Amino acid sequence: MNKFTSLFAVATALLLGNQCIAQSRVVQSFNDDWKFYKANNSTFFTDFENGQKYFESQSQWTKLEVWEDVTLPHTYNRTDMQTDRNFFEGKAVYTKTFSVDAASKDKRTFIKFEGVGAIAKLYINDNFIGEHKGGYSMFTYEITNSVNYDKPNTITVIADNASRKDIIPINQFLFPVYGGIYRPVHLITTNKTSFVVTDRAAPGIQIRQQNVSAKNADIEVSAKLETKEKTAQAAELWVEIRDYDGKLVQTEKQPVKISPQGVTYVKQAVKMKSPRLWDGIRDPYLYSVTAKIMSGGKELDAVKQPLGVRKVEINGGQNVLLNGKPYPMYGVCRHQDREGFGSALSFAQHKEDMLMIKEMGATTIRLAHYQQSPEIYSLADTLGFLTWAEIPFVNRVSYYENDNAKQQMTELVKQNMNHPSIYIWGVHNEVYSKTADEQVPVLSRELNDIAKTLDPDRYTVAVTGYNVVDRQENLTTDVQGINHYFGWYGGKIEDLGPWAKKVQQDFPGYKIMLSEYGADGNMDIGQEELKMPDNVVSGKSFPENYQTETHIQQWAAIQQNPIIVASYVWNMFEFAVPAWNRGGVNARNLKGLVSFDRKRKKDSFYWYKANWNPEPMIYLANRRDNERTKAQGKVQVFSNLKDVKLEVNGKSYTAKQGVNDKHWVVEQVDLKQGQNTIVAVGKDGSKELRDEMVWNLK
């Protein structure tokens, strides 16, 4: 088993957790044999949701020929939201017949959804169980008293992705809210005495770590326990810490008395000596924490969570420290959708995304603009990416979303705070007010308080789309994020550097991150000259070379300005935007460094790989600007080698360094009529690395 196979095995084990450690709790996949009906019929849903029988019984209407057999994850917008603004937005129904093991009759049964876009109404055997509002967080319902243990059961889920002013995000303008049960579902069985399962779908234990160093670490495990037995249950809480290989490192035990009334709260302190630290991409070492409820030598319940022992510090105007050492914050943003699949992605597709980010050399990820799959957080733990997690309070405000924003903030933190990769919670992105007394700053302070109350040890961040640090909506959180596209939505490419210097002068010591920057680039549009598109909002031609130049210059400026303690390229991957028609591709944001289908990498991808990934490489840029009209042209090479040479039709040129030591340039090479072969050569010790491209001179 190679290193990465082993790492992903650990990630999968931690993700599935309770399936892998004991039969006291059983977690079963609940993704097969569903039927789906996209009924654009308000009467159907109105009657069903009111508890009336639109047909005589569920068993009859499930026999309709309109039903489609599906396997989860599934979205009903996997293509239409990627085509244009004429997509289906509304309700659809999912149903499934299932049985519950008769041996579970004296146990408890729950159903857990990892994500339904965007509102889910749940029915078991025609009984309404509950409604969840929000398309990105997990939710769990107990169905113990609604299922039959001696005959088949029917589950029905009505999914609705219509925009609503009381549920964030309130529109579909910046990204699509795909409809459907687009993440996996699990059936969970526990004993009557267990860790709490229904606390906003949190894992039942929360891990807090303080005073972390290579010598010691104070770990605190907070557990929520409950029993449905009639009398108080005398038990023990065991907390076991195991190393990466599964070897038991430490066990702590304490007696507990679990009340049949309410919830029993227990805390267990663990003093780790000489822990191996989770050190980001340098060494993403994972322990695991297994908490058990034991009684009379019998395990009543157990939950397993990752433990990465680490300490993150942000020094405003200087750097980010991980375990006391400077950590390079080479960042990208990531949306969760993919061409032809929408948001209904497999673990293999999530893994492919994360490995591509690793290949480029990134060290940190902003997961924009919503809670993403638990698989993504587990992969971030395993690969060592410091991760920014946020809620979809984004783009517009309605003044009706306060309650839902607070709900989603609570869910995000409770569900994910055990992931060591997460270092910061995001409360909003590009929402504005006229004064500091209005909704956005007031709600932002409340969201910040939720995050800091639930998780006092992590940072919080809010993001503005203006390049102004002290706007009235800003400074409600620990860190200020700035989204600004110098040279795209205003100004010139080279404006980023002077802006950063002015910020350093006016706000020394502030914790400031460039949370988005970049430009659109269409790989299918070549351009010999470097020229900004005439209109970046409605223009139909966004040549790739302008995007490449943006990233060349702006990464060099970021390197030179430590006031920007972290930066995040927008975006790692192209993604769908149904309302847009820009740059030559409808319904697409073209700012990604990789194509929507993940099959092609842009020049900018290799620019960052040369700067961020120490593996020796050499790459000729502007290879798609291959139709030339001038007999001389500029050639750029991206390489982390110490010496780079260039040959054009056999003629040698010495490349000079450009904006930094990864940028090699020959300002003028001679071209001949017809085909011109351009070769870049560099050496890594005795090994020669080469790249080749062809330009055609008319």
Tokens found for residue 268 = 């267990």
* Secondary structure class of 48 (helix, strand, coil): helix
Tokens found for residue 620 = 């000729």
- Would you give the end-to-end CA distance of the chain in angstroms? 53
Paired sense of beta strands 651-654 and 644-648, if any: antiparallel
Q: How far apart are CA 365 and CA 656, in angstroms?
A: 32
Strand-pairing partners, residue 70, are 34
Q: How far apart are CA 376 and CA 358, in angstroms?
A: 13
Q: Nearest 10 degrees: CA dihedral of 420, 14, 447, 430?
A: 80
Q: How far apart are CA 646 and CA 679, in angstroms?
A: 6
Q: How far apart are CA 306 and CA 348, in angstroms?
A: 20
Evaluate whether 175 touches 369 at the Cβ level (below 8 Å): yes
Q: How far apart are CA 683 and CA 136, in angstroms?
A: 47
Q: Determine the distance from the C-alpha atom of residue 137 to the mean position of all C-alpha atoms in its chain, rounded to a whole number.
A: 12
Residue 413 DSSP one-character state:
H
Question: What residues contact 437, with CB distance under 8 A and at least 6 apart?
Answer: none
* Secondary structure class of 368 (helix, strand, coil): coil
Q: Nearest 10 degrees: CA dihedral of 7, 9, 10, 12?
A: 120
Q: What are phi and psi for residue 609, nearest 5 degrees? A: -60, -40
Tokens found for residue 218 = 């104070």
Query: How far, in Å, are 81, 467, 540, 547, 605 from residue 583 at the CA level?
Result: 18, 25, 4, 12, 19
Sheet holding 325-326, edge to edge: 312-315, 319-322, 325-326
Find the catalytic residue in 430, 473, 516, 549. Answer: 430
> With 0-12 CB in 10 A as exposed, 13-18 as middle and 19+ as buried, what is 472?
middle
Q: How far apart are CA 255 and CA 268, in angstroms?
A: 11
Instruction: Give the 3-state DSSP-derived string for 119-136, with helices as H, strands as E and coil as C.
Output: EEEEEECCEEEEEEECCC
Residue labelled with tokens 């924009």: 368
Helices 347-360 and 603-612: crossing angle in degrees, nearest 10, is 60
Q: How far apart are CA 300 and CA 575, in angstroms?
A: 45
Evaluate whether 478 touches 316 at the Cβ level (below 8 Å): no
Strand-pairing partners, residue 663, are 638
Told to judge if 430 belongs to the known catalytic residues of this protein, a careful annotator would answer yes
Nearest-Å Rg of the Cα atoms of the chain is: 27
Evaluate whether 451 touches 458 at the Cβ level (below 8 Å): yes
DSSP 257-272: EE-SSS-EEEEEEEEE
Amino acid identity, residue 266? Answer: V
Q: Determine the distance from the C-alpha atom of residue 97 to the mean position of all C-alpha atoms in its chain, rounded to a whole number.
A: 32
Q: What are phi and psi for residue 606, nearest 5 degrees? A: -75, -25
Evaluated on CA atoms 38, 40, 44, 45, the torsion sign reads positive
Question: What residues contact 456, with CB distance under 8 A and at least 6 apart?
Answer: none
Tokens found for residue 466 = 């203006």
In 3-state terms the chain splits into helix, strand, coil percentages (rounded to 5) of 20, 35, 45
What amino acid positions are annotated as catalytic residues? Answer: 430
